[in-house]
A = this chain, B = another copy of it.
């Protein structure tokens, strides 16, 4: 689970210090249930921590990815965004409208991967899967 306490513990368990800035970044991501760009994380985290620098946000995001607390997602404009990662192996489903983000674990590509491996001779090592759609709330509004 992505909850503040457990992530803070994981930070401390690593060789990482739990600073005011890191907590602010963490809370901003935890509070938002959408994928955020680095700039968005910066803006939100700054509400809690006035003197936060953008460089620190980038540095913190890297660490959070390292310890598996968040995951990179691909944005439509080519840049990268970040979303909380609860599951060990999960993927993200993102609302194309409001960017609400849900994580799902049911990802059984095994059969497909086998077939692709057989037909191409490649050995598949990792996969990158992201779904875009419309969340319940945005469906109602439409």
Contacts and interface: CB of A to CB of B under 8 A. Distances in A.
Contacts of A30: none
A119 B106 contact: yes
Interface stretch (A11-19, A39-47, A128-136): A128-136
A117 B109 CA distance: 17
A122 B138 CA distance: 9
Contacts of A121: 135-136
Given A104-B119, A108-B112, A112-B106, A131 B124 contact: yes
Interface in A67-125: 72, 74, 78-80, 93, 95-96, 102, 104, 106-109, 112-113, 115-117, 119-125
User: How many of chain A's residues touch chain B, expressed as a range?
Assistant: 35 or more
Contacts of A117: 133
A111 to B, nearest CB: 8
A100 to B, nearest CB: 9
B95 A106 contact: no
Contacts of A102: 120, 122
12 contacts: A104-B116, A106-B115, A106-B119, A108-B112, A121-B136, A123-B134, A126-B133, A127-B129, A127-B131, A127-B132, A128-B131, A129-B129
